[in-house]
Amino acid sequence: MELHGGHISVESEGDTKGSVFTFAIPLVLTCDEYRESGSIISGPESATQCSHANILSGESNRPRILVVEDNSANMKLITNLLEAGGYSTLQAFSAEEAINILKTQTPDLILMDISLPGTDGLKATKVIKSNPDTSHVTVVALTAHSMKDDESRAKEVGCDAYILKPIDTRIFYSTLSGLIKSEGSGAVA
């Protein structure tokens, strides 16, 4: 629940009395869902996503983001957030897989988990930034709050920005939209 930005609690009056589990997670709406809701559900996050999806309208114009993340729950959360925000996604569960994908595809941005089994995100970023075919691709490090050194090390190896985990969706979207300028026709803002 916390990985999804929510929380969970349990209450029980004791043995054989049963238990009540309560959880809450933030609702992420796509632009269409937001419009259909007739703005009944409002909030800064929904509004940001909707205007973002408008700017990035058109499937083929959607910026492509390669997500490198070994934790499957995090992968699901991140790709859901990206797709709700108007991005298309590529997934790699290891640095090796990411480097393989980059041989045939050029994403607009890479979200790179630093803590990966095998080659870690820092080494992978070094490889990406030292290859002339991929050195221009923006790399955003995903670092855990507890790993303070990761931030400076991420910058050292060439990461363009970093996002802390657990992810704050507003910071997540504003960081990405600051780094990706919408391309092609249909850009309004």
- Enumerate binding residues for Mn ion (CB under 5 A): 70, 113, 115
* Nearest distance from C-beta of residue 104 to Mn ion, angstroms: 24
* Nearest distance from C-beta of residue 94 to Mn ion, angstroms: 10
Nearer to Mn ion, 70 or 168 (CB): 70
* Nearest distance from C-beta of residue 175 to Mn ion, angstroms: 19
Residue 32: which H helix or E strand, with range?
helix 31-36
Nearer to Mn ion, 46 or 143 (CB): 143
Nearer to Mn ion, 48 or 115 (CB): 115
| Spatial CA neighbour of 137 closest among 181, 106, 113 | 106
Pairing of strands 7-12, 19-24: antiparallel
* Nearest distance from C-beta of residue 43 to Mn ion, angstroms: 29
In order, the DSSP letters of 124-156 are: HHHHHHHSTTTTTSEEEEEEETT-HHHHHHHHH
Cβ-proximal residue to Mn ion, closest one? 115
Residue 166, both tokens: 């657990």
Residue 106, both tokens: 């050029």
Tell the residue number behind the tokens 């991929």, with chain if given.
Answer: 134
Nearer to Mn ion, 29 or 141 (CB): 141
